[in-house]
Chains A and B, each alone.
Chain A
Amino acid sequence: MFADLDNELFPAGVTRCSLSKFLLWLAFIGLFFLWGLYAAYVILSNGLGMSNLDNYFGFGLWITFDLAVIALGAGAFFTGLIRYIIRIDELVKIINLTVIIGFICYSGAMLVLTLDIGQPLRAWFGYWHPNVHSMLTEVIFCITCYCIVLIIEYIPLILEQKQINSVPFLHHLAHNMHVIMPLFAGLGAFLSTFHQGSLGGMYGVMFGRPYAFREGFFIWPWTFFLFILSAVASGPAFTVLVCTFMEKLSGRKLVSFKIKSLMCKIAGSMLCIYMVFKILDTWAWANGFLPSVGMTFDQMFFEVIYGKWLMFVELILCGVVPAIMLITPAIRNTPALLYIAAGLDCIGIIVNRYVFTVQTLAMPVLPFDKWFTYAPNWTEIASSGMIVAYGFIVLSLSYRYLPVFPEEVKLNK
C-alpha cells in the first residue's frame, strides 16, 4: 500500500526504484548523517577544543569545506545568470539541478559555520553590530541573503510536485514565481558575485599574512576577483559531475550530453580567463610583493605537506590542463575526457581554497617562529561528512519526487 502511495508522488511519466530500496539507501546515508550529528553534539556541548583547531590554525577543514562547497555551488547563480539574464534557453534542462546543488551547498556551509564559530548563539551579531570594513561581514550578509534567494528559487520546484501542483492555488503560485524568477536570478547573481569575491577578499586583506595578502583595485584585493572567476569556472563543471553521478546511480539518462558539454564549455572558458589572471597574480606576488616584505618564494613552502607540488597541482594539473581540455571541442565532446577535465577543474579549486585557508596560517611570519602542521580530527571530518550526507538526502528526495529534469522522460523512452 505504501509503495502505491509512493508511486503517486513521482513526477509524471518517470520510473523510480522501489520504496524499500530507496529507504535502505536513505538509511545508509543516514548513518553518516547521524555520525556527524553526534560529532556536532560533542563540539557544541564541550567546546571547539574537541576539534583539532588551535591558536595557530584558527581555520581548518571546516572553513576549507565551506569555501570549497560555496565555490562548487556557484553553478546555481552563474547558470541562473546565463539562463535568465543572457537567455541561453537550453540551460533550462539543467537549471533545476543547479538550484538544488546551490541550496545544498549554501545551507550546508551555513550549518558548518554555526559549528565553527565559538559562540553560535551570537551569529546574528553580524547583522546587529556589522563592521563595514570587514570582508567577513559582507560574507555573512550575502551568504544568508543568497541562501534565502535559493530557497525562493527552490520553492517553485517543490510546488511542481505532482500532488502539490494539483492544488490550483499552488499551481498558480508556482507559475507566477517562475515568471518573476529572472528577478531573483539577477539578485542571486549580484549577491553571489559579491560574497564569492569577499571570501577571496577575506584572505587578500590579511596584510599580516604574506602567503595570502594581495594588492588590488580600490578596496578589493586581487583575490576578490580571482575567487569569483574560480567559482564560476568550477560551479558549472561540478553540476555536470553531480548530474553524471546521479545518472550512474539511477541508471537513467537525465540530461543530454549536449547540455553537459555546453556547461563545461562555459566552465572551460571561465577557467581559461581565471588561469591567465591567477598565473599573473602568482608571478606578481612571488616577484613583487614577497621581496618587498623581506621574504622569498621558497619560504612560502614547507616539506611535502605544504610543498610546491600543491601549487603545481593547483595551477598546472588542475588548472591549465582542464582549461585546455574543456575549450577544445574534440576533447570536450568525448564523455570520459569531459568528466576527467571537470573533475580536475573542481579539484584545482578545492586545492586553492585549502592552501589559502591552511597554508596561509601554517607559514611562520615571525622570523624566529617555525612551521606547524594541521590535520583535522574525527569531529571535524564527521561533521563535514554530515553536510555531504545531508546533500545526498536532499538530492535523493528531490530526484525521486520532484520534476528536476525536464528531459528525463524523453531521454529514457
Chain B
Amino acid sequence: MSEFKEFATKWGLVVDLDKCTGCGACMISCQVENNIAPVVEASNKLRSLNWMWIFEMTNGKAFPENDAAFLPRPCMQCGKPPCVSVCPVVATDKNEEGGIVSQIYPRCIGCRYCVGACPYHARYFNWFDPIWPEGMEKAITPHASTRPRGVVEKCTLCHHRWNYAKEKARQEGKDPSALPENAYVPACVEACPTGAMYFGDLKNPKHKVHELAKSPNAFRLLEKLGTNPQVYYVSAREWVRKQGDNQLPAKEKA
C-alpha cells in the first residue's frame, strides 16, 4: 500500500486560478522544455501528450451569473502517490528529497497501471514512436531524454532545472539544499504571462509558496481521496474551491 512520504524540502506549485486566463503558455513551454513529441493526429485529446493540461471549470449557472475558471494541471507530485505503489517494476518512485515523483523511462514496461491509478490524468502513454517533423528535431533540448513508444511519461517539475540550480549553487559556494526563491522554477511557471503560478519549497518560510499554501483560499484537488498533493490552487471564488474537492470541506493544509 502507498505511504505518505515526507521530506525536508518539498517542491510545490501554487496556482492562482483567479489570475489564470487559460492561455496555454504553460502547456507550450512544457512541451518544448521536456521534448514532448508532437502527436501526428492531435484531434483526439485522449491520445495527446501534455504533461501540463488546462481544464475548464464552470459554476454551471446561466448568464449573467455564469462564471468560469481555468485550471492548469501538472502532476500533483502527491505526498501519497496512487501511481507509485502500483508500478510492478519500480519504474516510478517518490524517494528523493524534494518529493518529486520520478519516472524511469528505460525501466517502464508500459503496463499503464499507473495511468489508471492516477485520478488527475497526469500520466501519459506513448502510443506511437515519437516523430519530430523535419527541422523540428533541431529544437530538441539536451535537458530531458526523449521517450520511446510504449512507456509512460509525466511532469517532473522540470527536475533537470533543479539539477542545474544545485550545480550553480555549488559553483558559487552556496548550499545546494537551501536554494533561494526563484533559483529553481519549472518552465511553466517561468512562461506564465499573468504570474498566476508560484513555485518553491513548501517547507521553506522564505519562499512565497509556504505562505500561499496556507491561505484560507488555498485548496488541493481531491483532498478527500488522501493523495496529499504538493500542488495547491488559490481562488477567492468559493465555487471554485468547492469544485476542487467534490463540494467537501478541505482537510488540513500541509
Contact = CB atoms under 8 A, between A and B. Distances in A.
Interface in B122-172: 123-129, 148-152
Given A119-B110, A366-B222, A49 B47 contact: yes
Interface string A336-373: 00000000000000000000000011000111110010
Given A126-B109, A366-B121, A368-B57, A134 B245 contact: no
A125 B226 contact: no
Chain A, interface residues (CB within 8 Å), range:
35 or more
Contacts of A122: 89, 107-110
Interface string B71-106: 100000000001001111111000000000000000
A219 interface: yes
Contacts of A368: 55-58, 71, 243
A131 B87 contact: yes
Nearest to B149: A47
Interface string A122-143: 1101101111011111011000
A58 B115 contact: yes
A293 B113 CA distance: 22
Given A118-B109, A122-B109, A48 B150 contact: yes
B88 A365 contact: no
A130 B82 contact: no
Contact of B127 (A49, A59, A126): A49
Contacts of B221: 366
A117 interface: yes
Secondary structure call for the B interface: loop
A131 B123 CA distance: 19
Contacts of B128: 46-47, 49
A293 B246 CA distance: 8
Contact of B117 (A116, A123, A208, A367): A208
Contact of B88 (A126, A206, A295): A126
Which among A54, A123, A135, A361 has the highest number of chain B CB atoms within 10 Å? A54
A292 B224 contact: yes
Contacts, number: 172
B246 A294 contact: yes
Nearest to B127: A49
Given A49-B47, A131-B87, A56 B225 contact: no
Interface in A51-71: 53-59
A119 B2 contact: no
B116 interface: yes
B218 interface: no
Contact of A134 (B57, B87, B127, B150): B87
Given A295-B246, A372-B46, A366 B120 contact: yes
A205 interface: yes
Interface residues of B, number: 57
B38 interface: no
A238 to B, nearest CB: 26
A119 B226 contact: no
B24 interface: no
B149 A118 contact: yes
B112 interface: yes
A136 B46 CA distance: 24
Contacts of A400: none
B44 A54 contact: yes
A210 interface: yes
Contacts of B88: 125-126, 130-131, 134, 136-137, 139-140
B128 to A, nearest CB: 4
B246 A134 contact: no
26 contacts: A46-B128, A49-B47, A58-B113, A118-B111, A118-B150, A119-B110, A119-B151, A122-B110, A123-B109, A129-B91, A131-B88, A131-B90, A134-B88, A205-B1, A205-B2, A205-B86, A206-B117, A207-B225, A207-B226, A209-B117, A210-B225, A294-B224, A294-B246, A294-B247, A365-B225, A366-B120
Given A122-B89, A205-B2, A210-B225, 16 more contacts: A48-B127, A53-B112, A58-B116, A118-B112, A119-B110, A122-B108, A129-B107, A131-B87, A133-B85, A137-B89, A207-B226, A207-B227, A208-B119, A293-B248, A294-B245, A367-B244
